[in-house]
Amino acid sequence: MTRIEWQWRERGSGGAPYRQRVSVSEAPPPNTEFLTLIEHELNCTACNLRTDGAFCPRAAELVREERESRR
Ligand SMILES: [Zn+2]
């Protein structure tokens, strides 16, 4: 079964990571940090106003935490 979800991508040359919609056939179960991040995305005005895939400082922090949690 294929579904659409957001994934975080690294930008080259030290740029901020950005989100991208991708279709996945089998995704690992989302962890708490990832769900926190998604919840922030849904509720954050600053993030929702942005259309370039960037996000607010709080979201950047959540992305970092989410990445750490997967190590
Ligand atoms: Zn935000």
Enumerate residues 6+ apart whose C-beta is below 8 A from 62. Answer: 33, 36, 37, 40
Distance of alpha carbon 65 from alpha carbon 14, whole angstroms? 18
Give per-residue pLDDT as tens, 20-37.
888 877 766 668 898 898
Given a contact cutoff of 8 angstroms between Cβ atoms, the answer to whether 24 and 2 are in contact is yes
CA of 23 to the centre of ligand 1 (A): 23
In this predicted structure, the answer to whether residue 71 has a pLDDT above a threshold of 70 is yes
pLDDT of residue 12: 74
pLDDT of residue 28: 66
Please count the CA atoms within 13 angstroms of the CA of 18 that sit on its side-chain side: 11
CA of 49 to the centre of ligand 1 (A): 9
Parent domain of 18: 3-69
Q: Report which residue type is found at 3.
A: R
Give per-residue pLDDT as tens, 39-63.
998 899 988 887 776 779 999 999 8
Number of structural domains (the chain) is 1
Q: In this predicted model, which residue has the larger pLDDT, 51 or 66?
A: 66
